[in-house]
Amino acid sequence: MPKYKIIYDRKNCISVGSCALLAAEFWKMNPTDDKADLVDGKQNEKQKKDEVFELEIDEKDLHQNKEAARNCPVNVIRIFDEKGKEVTL
């Protein structure tokens, strides 16, 4: 089964929350700063100061996360296939 990677630029999130509405299993709004959190996302050590988080997902979870990414007004959610090619939303 193909794997995909979500790359989330939390620093530039503007707190709209569409991701949490469309893919609640993967996205939650943080009550401290009202930004979205990528559930179980790991912070990229090379981009720690930039608040970049990553999460590997299975193909079965791709559709709902594509919807979350597509509906993000500032495009801070990107999805890549296992070859590193960005998935078309």
The confidence score (pLDDT) of residue 46 equals 77
Q: Please enumerate in sequence order all residues whose Cβ is within 8 A of that of 88, keeping only pairs 6 or more positions apart, or say none.
A: none
CA distance 44 to 88: 23
85: pLDDT strictly greater than 90: yes
Domain spans in the chain, listed from the N-terminal domain onward: 3-81
- pLDDT tens-place string over residues 14-71: 999 999 999 999 999 999 999 999 999 999 877 677 899 999 999 999 999 999 999 9
- According to DSSP, the residues that pair with 77 across neighbouring strands are 8
- Report pTM: 0.93
42 sits in which H/E element: strand 42-43
Q: Which fold has domain 3-81?
A: Alpha-Beta Plaits (3.30.70)
